[in-house]
């Protein structure tokens, strides 16, 4: 309902500001389906934000508002680039090592605010926000002094060997094998959170930290493990994005996929099984808005309005649900105690 309402509001805005509203709406809703290239771009954008959406969902399930998935994604790509360009490994082994090292790098980034929270009760939100920029400049240092190709016309690493790249399997698109990795990871994340003892500990911590403590769950361990696992997923996503979409590492700023992961987690209600749907929806809207901006007089920034309205409505629904729960409890207590 929140999504439908936000789209209706967007349509109203289009009718107000556009001289060709029907064409704009048609481009927004059906533009991504107009060609295989456009639809392929949707899937290409969906892949990295699926990883960051899963990463944020794991951490939010534990009520740990760690926002370092952006830095983990970036550092995962840096680590993968370092392995791919500095180590001469056989093709399949090279990909596996790049992905593994990227996941480890991502876990290390998110472990810092996690340990600060578990040891000193420092706000993981504040420390992770600041950490993202530390990671950015650390990555640029590594790129500039260890990975840079001096013969290239801009700041970039040496070319990635062909044996370290993920294959593209659909003609006229750049859809790569990272899509299958994302699908497998969604299943694994779901099974971990809902079918294992560690996943139960993380979810219990998120629902009630005091209950988790008194029931014998190691709260500190759950805090650290949830954020490290989320960071590993984000770091894996960064390495997948690099190996699937680029010939070199050449990011000079944070790519923004970690912030998209927060939006995806909110839309998916932190449930991993819904993350791919939320990621596809967001990617579809963004590609549609880009097509709309090219062929009509409606700017692509309209998608920011849609995202903002959706987040506000979903958040309001959660807040109103808690208020309703309190009122029900209060009414129940009043009815059970006539005095």
Closest to 316 in 3D by CA, of 4, 76, 49, 2:
2
Q: Which residues fall within 8 angstroms of residue 244, CB to CB, at 6 or more apart?
A: 47, 165, 166, 168, 174, 176, 177, 178
pLDDT score recorded for residue 18? 86
- Three-class HEC string of 139-203: HHHHHHHHHECCCCCCCCECCCCHHHCCCECCCCCCCECHHHHHHHHHHHHHHHHHHCHHHHHHH
Each residue of 137-168: pLDDT tens digit? 999 999 999 999 999 989 999 999 999 999 99
Distance CA 105, CA 63 (A): 23
Each residue of 36-88: pLDDT tens digit? 999 999 999 999 999 999 999 999 999 999 999 999 999 999 999 999 999 99
Cβ atoms of 105 and 75 closer than 8 Å? yes
Cβ atoms of 106 and 238 closer than 8 Å? yes
Give Cα separations from 293 to 16, 35, 185, 250, 315 (angstroms).
16, 17, 34, 27, 29
Phi and psi angles of residue 155, each rounded to the nearest 5 degrees, phi first: -70, 110
Can you list the residues of the chain whose pLDDT is less than 50? 338-339
Q: Is 63 exposed, middle or buried (0-12, 13-18, 19+ CB in 10 A)?
A: middle
């Amino acid at each position: 309902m929140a999504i439908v309402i936000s789209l209706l509001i967007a349509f109203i805005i289009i009718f107000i500001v556009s001289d060709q509203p029907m064409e704009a709406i048609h481009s927004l809703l059906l533009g991504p389906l107009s060609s295989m290239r456009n639809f392929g771009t949707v899937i290409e954008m969906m892949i990295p934000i699926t990883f960051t959406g899963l990463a944020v969902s794991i951490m939010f399930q534990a009520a740990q508002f760690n926002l370092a998935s952006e830095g983990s994604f970036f550092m995962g790509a840096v680590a993968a680039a370092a392995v791919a360009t500095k180590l001469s490994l056989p093709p399949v082994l090279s990909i596996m090592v790049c992905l593994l090292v990227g996941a480890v790098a991502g876990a290390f980034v998110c472990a810092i605010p996690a340990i600060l929270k578990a040891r000193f009760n420092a706000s993981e939100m504040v420390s992770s926000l600041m950490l993202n920029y530390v990671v950015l400049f650390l990555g640029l240092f590594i790129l500039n002094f260890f990975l840079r190709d001096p013969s290239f016309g801009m700041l970039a690493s040496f070319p990635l060997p062909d044996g370290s790249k993920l294959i593209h399997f659909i003609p006229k698109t750049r859809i790569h094998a990272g899509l299958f990795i994302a699908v497998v990871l969604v299943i694994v994340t779901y099974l971990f959170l809902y079918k294992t003892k560690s996943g139960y500990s993380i979810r219990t911590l998120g629902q009630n930290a005091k209950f988790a403590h008194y029931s014998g769950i190691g709260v500190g361990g759950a805090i650290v493990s949830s954020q490290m696992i989320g960071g590993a997923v984000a770091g894996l996503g960064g390495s997948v994005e690099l190996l699937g979409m680029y010939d070199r590492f050449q990011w000079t700023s944070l790519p923004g996929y970690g912030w998209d992961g927060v939006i995806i987690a909110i839309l998916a209600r932190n449930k991993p099984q819904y993350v791919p749907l939320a990621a596809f929806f967001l990617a579809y809207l963004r590609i549609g808005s880009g097509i709309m901006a090219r062929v009509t007089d409606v700017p692509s920034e309209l998608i920011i309005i849609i995202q903002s309205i959706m987040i506000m409505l979903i958040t309001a629904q959660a807040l109103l649900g808690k208020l309703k729960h309190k009122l029900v409890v209060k009414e129940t207590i009043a009815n059970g105690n006539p005095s």
